[in-house]
Amino acid sequence: MKIVPGMKYIFFIVVFSLLLRTAFSGELLRNGDFETGDVTGWKYWETYPWDGDGAPVELPAHITIAVPGTLGTPVPPTTSGSFAMAQQVGTHGTARGGLYQEVRVIMNTPYILTGHIAFFGDDIGDVTVIGILDGVWNPAFAFTTPNKNSISGNLSASWQEISLMIIPSKDVITIFTETRQDWMHGYVAGWYDNLSLKPVPESTKLTQSP
């Protein structure tokens, strides 16, 4: 059978679409379960004092990020596996910071972030956050993004399941974590485990349609 130029073009589009869909069909987050025993795949960011610019840093000086953590350990210490990640701010700190990971995505395609977070705080100004930015890392948008989940206050909260969905308008989204202490006393810790970012399954999109 003779293939005309138009058929070649259609064939190329179909193959490219299939390859693109396959590339984005699995887990998109690197080391979301922290089973490497460290934060491989993630980048640090930090603000000091807490209302600063939130720039990326090679290693935070006022936020302690540990796998595993040592402060306010939830029960059980992990949701599965051997490791979970903790972001800790100690006494005399007014810091804000955590981790972020930029992920390539397909625009206008829904994605879902799932996982677990836990919290320890001893003041009303303590908070821990996980969220998604529609675009590259920008700490100013961490305050305003609607795609986030947080725990705050003077309390100890064990593991809570989170689920956040986004339909990106750009070809990059940023998954970020944040732990903040606003007052210069006490301690705060945010814990994270089994974070996962995947495209929303076709069956789920069908059931969510009007």
**Are 135 and 173 contacting, i.e. CB atoms less than 8 angstroms apart?**
yes
Which H or E run contains 9? helix 5-23
Reply yes or no on whether the pLDDT at 99 is more than 60.
yes
pLDDT of 49 reads 75
Please state the length of the chain.
210
Set out the domains of the chain in order of their start, with CATH numbers.
5-208 (2.60.120.260)
Name the 3-class secondary structure at 165: strand
- Rounded Cα gap, residues 13 and 91, in angstroms: 58
Overall pTM surpassing 0.85 (yes/no): no
Least confident of 14-28, 110-124, 154-168: 14-28
Among 102, 68, 89, smallest CA distance to 192 is for 68
